[in-house]
Structure 1
């Protein structure tokens, strides 16, 4: 909607739709910024979960890679190879063999170099309470 008015002998057109949109965006700016930051805050939350897949061992980071045969989904659970968590997992599970367990998991961004992208989730293993593997 536009209104035409006089301003010292010239015609001035005011676009109220544009002004209304800008006011709405300006009012929503704090909410948008909080929402964008909430993703990063959520990404640091730890939770109890289970991991299952084949163990891949790397120099600095290793991971358990799960591939869903029916769905095609992939999940990656990674850890630092030389950490206490890494040493425990590697002492029980064998390279390229199935490995599973219960752990404290965390969604972390960015993913360390060398860890593959997944279609359904990438989690860091913070601690383990149970590990089982085929040797």
Structure 2
């Protein structure tokens, strides 16, 4: 039995920060379910790349189309039986999917929702996306 074996995590993250965080949870025994897009993956998001495989080891995966109502409903059904949902989109993405904090919590009041956004949930830069190079440039 691992320290997090009773925890189920919905992983909606992409690229590095989120997949690394959820990989640590999986490494400690959490049941991490990675939600993948139906869109063709390139580069670091290609499931056949070593980088992707390293960041997503010990996770289960399911492919959903969150642009479709059926895909969003399936995600909500997974979230109903989960303890934690982690996403690293800009705030507008989850809002555009109709997957706000309120909607997620209405389906599972004990669900903890973690948002790893580049520039926060409000303010003038809230909808900007950022990657490591963005922050290197901004910080000088």
Q: TM-score, normalised by structure 1?
A: 0.24
- Compare CA radii of gyration and give the structure with the larger one: 1
Structure with higher strand content: 1
Q: TM-score, normalised by structure 2?
A: 0.23
Structure with higher helix content: 2
